[in-house]
Amino acid sequence: MWALRRAVNPLRCRGYHIGATRASSVGFDIFTVNLEQDVCAPDHGKNLIGRGLLPRGFSVGTSMTEIFSIGSRGLSSHAGEKATNNDDDLEEGFSELETSIAADCGKEKKDEEDEHADEIQAEASENEISLLDLESVETDKKVPGKSRINVASPLFKLIMEAPHHSVKSALDKWIEEGSSLERTEYYDILHNLRKRKIYGKALGLSEWVESKKLFDFDGRDYAARVDLLAKVVGISKAENYIEHIPKSFQGKVMYGTLLSNCVRARETKKAEETFNKMKELKFPITSFVCNQLLLLYKRSDRSKIRSVLEMMEEEDIKPSRITYHLLIDIKGHECDIDGMEKVIETMKSDDVEPDLLTQAMVAKHYIFAGQKEKGEAILKEMEAGDLKQNRGACKALLPLYASLGKADEVGRVWQVVEPTANLEERISAIEAWGKLGRMEDAEAVFENLFKTWKRPPLKSYTALMMVYANHKLLSKGKELVKKLTENGGSLGPSMWDVLVKLYVGAGELEKADSILHKATEQNPKMKPFYTSYMTIMHKYAKKGDVHNAEKIFHRLRQMGYSGRLQQYQALLQAYVNASVPPYGFRERMKADNLIPNRAMTGLLNQSDPFKKTPFSELLT
């Protein structure tokens, strides 16, 4: 294994010290049955963890003790910040490394793909603690399996048809008419609502059941409520609810659920606080917890990923399939294809065969790294010779063949899928035809949705809107929004984000700014995506519009998006482009406990109004 480490990163391994404090590694058995089968044998755990499996450019100067301090201090979002934040370097385009990646990997195409990959990984990671598919760890009651879901249930149809604000009154009427609700049916309906991401109605059902005392809540019921509260009304509400749960049910599943939602919401500080709380309560550190931290730092601070892996090695925590999946994606994102292949080899040597999700990710990274033949070979492996027998691969194959520019292959796959295509496959087809610039085909797939749904889901509108945004088709985008509202639909953060991209791409920056501002005024309970603000802020920075860049910076803070180096970089770039001295900028960063990385240091030096020049030296 040491030879493998040296082969991937021959120089960075020298002189590195691991300063970790030992911690308990008792099993944290909150996995689903299927995922438990994917976990490697205990003696394989250390084979995965190594400096050679980390992306190039990760800092090696921050020790395990500095970042995690597994002893009494715990996890801190500010610990180890002297290490270079390579994630910000990459995202902002200020680093030297980013230039080469853009050239080699087609970075302009990767940004959207990586956002989508994050969503997939969040869902996959969340499935490790799928609250409504688990065996009950808090009680001895039997939990119904997911195969029991009955979408034809009259009560499920009643909930689906009821407006969001009328779910509880509809349920009251159901009981008044003499109907009943058994625990097994409750679980089935709740699971199906969550699967469809109808979290508001699921929360309403959960609250109603508890208020009516139809049956006693157990640990699983409370955990489901925490999950729904975090998704619908925010992490703070979920934390407050936990405080009122009976102590006997405030277990590892409860806090694992909270941690998962903190990571999903990209609440770094809250996630770290939750991790520390789990340690204080002496809950064991497991691969589930480590996977959550890997996903968190993949998004927010990649310099800390190494320390999570060291923790796994020190505590002999065996990796799950999702651990490998995350590491493969990190390597691929850095265009370290050799390193990515080493991770795959290690994965296979641990008897974990890549699934369709992993194969699709590997193919994507090959394609964007310019190794299209390897990418296409993976796609053929996914097909396994018969698409009808491997229908599950089609959703991923459509956009990937489009990325290769192979319209014939997209058409071939779509011909197999089209007669019985589900929503996700149709959205993939819209995306694929859009990538190929075949608007009529993308629009035809969208229009066919109305044959199945009277009101197609918002995500289908968002998919077509993204196609229009990518091709700067402003007028078509406006028509689509009009069609959505006329059909009784409402806009949300995902559609706001695409609208911002649409208007910014069409050169109407002020209009995009206005749309986002009005959306937050009209829907104060909805929080726009961080990327929506940054899309606008980057454009203001490029124009050297300091006033409006500061305005967006302030809005980010109002929305809770503060303390991120990325937004400081964009703001400072506005000052540099405007040739305006950013007085007190270092102090502002210090107030947010941020330490400049190399790119930021260069910008600060460039914009320093007091720096000495050859001319100023003559005058002194």
Rounded Cα distance between 46 and 16, Å, is 17
Rounded Cα distance between 258 and 241, Å, is 11
The burial of 283, by beta-carbon neighbours within 10 Å (0-12 exposed, 13-18 middle, 19 or more buried), is given as buried
Residue 388: name the closest of 417, 362, 367, 365 by CA. Answer: 417
Which mean pLDDT values do the consecutive 10-residue runs of the chain (620 residues) have? Answer: 34 32 29 27 37 39 33 40 34 26 42 48 47 36 43 81 85 88 90 85 92 89 92 88 91 92 86 92 90 89 87 90 92 91 93 92 95 96 88 95 97 95 95 97 96 88 96 96 89 92 96 94 84 96 96 91 86 94 91 83 81 50
Q: What angle do CA 335, 338, 340 make, to 5 degrees?
A: 70
Q: What angle do CA 317, 322, 327 make, to 5 degrees?
A: 85
Residue 452: name the closest of 494, 411, 419, 410 by CA. Answer: 419
Judged by DSSP in three states, 406 sits in coil
Find the helix packing angle between 423-435 and 439-448, rounded to 10°.
170
DSSP letters of 482-547? HHHHHTT----HHHHHHHHHHHHHTT-HHHHHHHHHHHHHH-TTS---HHHHHHHHHHHHHHT-HH
CA-based radius of gyration for the chain: 25
From residue 230, alpha-carbon distances to 75, 235, 572 in Å are: 21, 5, 34
pLDDT of res. 135: 34
Rounded Cα distance between 561 and 572, Å, is 17
pLDDT of res. 523: 83
Residue 512: name the closest of 471, 478, 487 by CA. Answer: 478
Rounded Cα distance between 64 and 17, Å, is 9
DSSP 25: -
Residue 26: name the closest of 50, 46, 42, 39 by CA. Answer: 42
pLDDT of res. 6: 33
Judged by DSSP in three states, 463 sits in helix
Core vs surface per residue 201-229: b (16+ CB within 10 A) or e: bbbbbbebbeeeebeebbbbbbbbbbbbb
Non-local CB neighbours of 50 within 8 Å, separated by 6+ positions: 1, 2, 4, 5, 309, 313
pLDDT of res. 606: 85
Residue 235: name the closest of 519, 527, 518 by CA. Answer: 527
Instruction: Answer whether 428's CB lies under 8 Å from 398's CB.
Output: yes
Instruction: Answer whether 206's CB lies under 8 Å from 224's CB.
Output: yes
DSSP 315: T
Residue 445: name the closest of 478, 474, 402, 475 by CA. Answer: 402
Sign of CA dihedral 378, 382, 384, 386: negative
Rounded Cα distance between 269 and 75, Å, is 9
Instruction: Answer whether 70's CB lies under 8 Å from 311's CB.
Output: yes
DSSP letters of 134-145? SPPSSSSPPPPP
pLDDT of res. 14: 31
Rounded Cα distance between 362 and 110, Å, is 13
pLDDT of res. 413: 96
DSSP letters of 259-274? HHHHHHTT-HHHHHHH
H/E element holding 379?
A: helix 372-383
pLDDT of res. 164: 77
pLDDT of res. 612: 54
DSSP 62: S
Judged by DSSP in three states, 427 sits in helix
H helix runs in 233-371, sequence order: 235-243, 252-264, 268-280, 287-300, 305-314, 321-333, 337-349, 356-368
Rounded Cα distance between 474 and 9, Å, is 47
Q: What is the pLDDT of residues 274-297, one digit of tens each?
A: 999 999 999 988 889 999 999 998
**What's the token pair of residue 154?**
């009259």
Quick one: how far is CA 510 from the chain centroid? 28
**What's the token pair of residue 560?**
């809770």
Q: For the chain, how far is it from start to end, CA to CA, in angstroms?
A: 60
Judged by DSSP in three states, 42 sits in helix
pLDDT of res. 610: 62
Judged by DSSP in three states, 276 sits in helix
Sign of CA dihedral 50, 52, 56, 57: positive
Q: What is the pLDDT of residues 497-528, one digit of tens each?
A: 999 999 999 999 999 999 999 998 988 878 88
Rounded Cα distance between 583 and 34, Å, is 56
